[in-house]
Structure 1
Amino acid sequence: MTTGNTALAATQYDSGIPRNSVPDRTSDNSAKRVIMISLDGICVEGFQKAHAPSLKGMMSQGAFSLDTRVVMPSVTLPNWTSHLTGSGPEQHGVFNNNWTPANSSYPAVRRDEDGYYPSVFQALKKCQPSCKTAFYYNWKPLAYPFNKKYLDEIKYLANDAYASNYHQAFQFVKKHRYNPTVVFLYSVHTDHAGHKYGWMSREYLQSIEEADQQIGIFFQKLRQEDLFNDTHFLFLTDHGGIGKGHGGTSAAEMIVPWGISGPGIKRNFLISEPNNTTNTAPMLLHLFGGKPLPEWTGKVIESVFPS
């Protein structure tokens, strides 16, 4: 697997967009809405080889990394918690997929009044009190680390279903088009395909392509309602895989794609500075004019913004 290769990355997403050009920022210099397109278990090689025009188009419209590092261990719950709390397991205390508030043996460095480590949703509600937040998912433990009182809508689908969550997310964005809005839109089916058939198997690549079709429909609905061009998008994943598993320290497991696009973000820009799943929450909060919480360890990736 090749990662961090500038020439490869530049040609992979070449869509005729001038490199480092910047779409207009909103007039008040604050994001209108941010949507996190989140797929579980996407390795760099799988992302590159899958036919995923919607995701790759989104990446070319913004700044992207093919060398983002995940936190250890390279498993699901610690890394999604890190994405959404700006911190590693040593801070938030989620070290494995069996974690729940009731069985946590390692205390987080800080907890809110309900016993949860502060998430980006909590920080957003304080930074932007009118912000509307939504969380759509299909792997039940995923919501355990987050205080649900900071989520205006939360929808869970069983059995790897995810298509209707894209529709629900669209309806939520449409309903709150005049509010600052943040949506976390997640599916685990790609990870399950890797476990069942193997990472880089035909079925694994198909699972990415199937997700991309739903993402394309979702994007088209946003365009029809004039809700696409002024939206920031983040593409997130939590780990890669090797064989039929993950959790180790190989590059195939620990290095993943990551991307951001939208007003004020450089376009067709390859991120060369070190990036980590812990940087997602600080980046998101920064888009709304907020600063990372003192206990967070992630940082804002300054290079994606014009100097």
Structure 2
Amino acid sequence: MDFRIKWLVSVLLIFGGILFCTAQERSKPLVKHVVLIGSDGFGAYAFKKAKAPNLRKMMENGAYTLEARSVLPSSSAVNWASMIMGSGPELHGYTEWGSKTPELPSKVIGDGNIYPTIFSLIHQQLPNTKKGASYSWGGIGYLFEKNMVDIDFNGKTDEETMQKAIEFILTEKPSLTFIHFDQPDGAGHNIGHDTPEYYKEVEKIDALVGKILSALEENNLMENTVILFSSDHGGVGKGHGGKTLLEVEIPWIIYGKNINSKGKLESSVVTYDTAVTIAHLLGLKIPDFWRGKPILEAIKYEEK
């Protein structure tokens, strides 16, 4: 009897290992283009008061949660790193608001001499495609492999950042474009979160998202594109980095090709799930040292 049990356990372990390895292999891509839009300091609570017709269009015709969570501390560099590195600070090592290099030694160092981001996966597995970042906060420039992107643009304003990103998308048809907007974080720090000025900046971000959507629709790119909108943190008063839900809960909205039009998601989402979901959509092999998971509830699969 003991022998049979040991044999059965061995078979199950081997079978489970095969399934795990298979899950890590490259799969069929579900989309050709992904646009990741990040808005700094955009707390999920903002939807209670701000007018955001373009983001709400994505929510209604795609999938979303307003209960996604940042990693701790709920501040900028640590969370932008987590968003594109598929792991939290305990592995990538960026632990502070303005981290330029890891304060904690990264568990893995990739070809770009930092913890591997979604850009490095695309660089290795989709070498013939374009990818890049257009960002308003200069701190983003320390968080990805500059030698692996086709655009590395630090705009002076969110409008300039958006325009450069649209030019890149329309000209190069990239597999991934990361667009970072600096607002409403500036208003949150200088004037305060949950103020009229803060919500005015939220509405400006929504308008920029609308321009991106229009550009893609007018050029027939939405037929094979997914847009994912999220943030690094929310805020209370004029600060961030705390452990309240107002600071930690962020929006996570996904819309486009092969995305379920189901509205609110039941899945628990952490910001490092973003990179893994993008990798899954692009059919990339996901490294076993990443800690995120693809949000499969949001994805629509073709029936065989």
Render the CA deviation track for 1:69-104: whole Å, top value 9, x for unaligned: 110000000001000000000000000023223xx4
Q: Does 1:214 align with 2:212?
A: no
Structure 1 distance, partners of 2:100, 2:160, is: 27
- Code of the residue aligned with 2:53 in structure 1: it is P
Matches for 1:223-302 after TM superposition, within 5 Å: 223-302=217-296
1:171 to 156, 167, 170: 167
Q: In the alignment, is residue 39 of structure 1 matched against residue 39 of structure 2? A: yes
Match of 1:201 in 2: 195
SS at match of 1:189: coil
Gaps of at least 5 residues in structure 1 are 1-27
The answer for the alignment partner of 1:142 in structure 2 is: 140
Query: Normalized per residue, which structure has more helix?
Result: 2
Residues 255 and 190 of structure 1, relative CA distance in 2, 3 Å threshold: same
**Cα RMSD (Å):** 1.5
| 1:303 is the counterpart of 2:279 | no
Deviation at 1:241, TM superposition (A): 0.5
Tell me the CA shift for residue 135 of structure 1.
Answer: 0.5
Q: Percent identity?
A: 32
Aligned mates of 1:65, 1:144 — CA distance in 2 = 28
TM-score normalised by L of structure 1: 0.85
* Larger-Rg structure: 2
Does residue 60 (structure 1) correspond to residue 60 (structure 2)? The answer is yes
Match of 2:108 in 1: 110
Structure 1 residues 262 and 188: alpha-carbon distance in aligned structure 2, compared to 1, 3 A threshold: same
Q: CA deviation at 1:139?
A: 1.0
Asked whether 1:81 is paired with 2:75, we answer no
Preserved contact between residue 128 and residue 288 of structure 1 (Cα < 8 Å)? no
Runs of 4+ in 1 over 6 A off after TM superposition: none
Structure 1 window deviating more from structure 2 (281-290 vs 56-65): it is: 56-65
Gaps of 5+ in 2: 1-27
Deviations 1:39-62 (A, max 9, x none): 011112213321111111112221
**Match 1:152 to one of 134, 150, 153:** 150
Partners of 2:143 and 2:161 lie apart in 1 by: 20
Flag the 1:114–1:37 CA change in 2: closer, same or farther, 3 A: closer
User: What corresponds to 1:5 in structure 2?
Assistant: none
Q: How many positions carry a matched residue from both structures? A: 274
What's the CA shift for 1:189?
2.2
The alpha-carbon deviation at position 151 of structure 1 amounts to 1.0
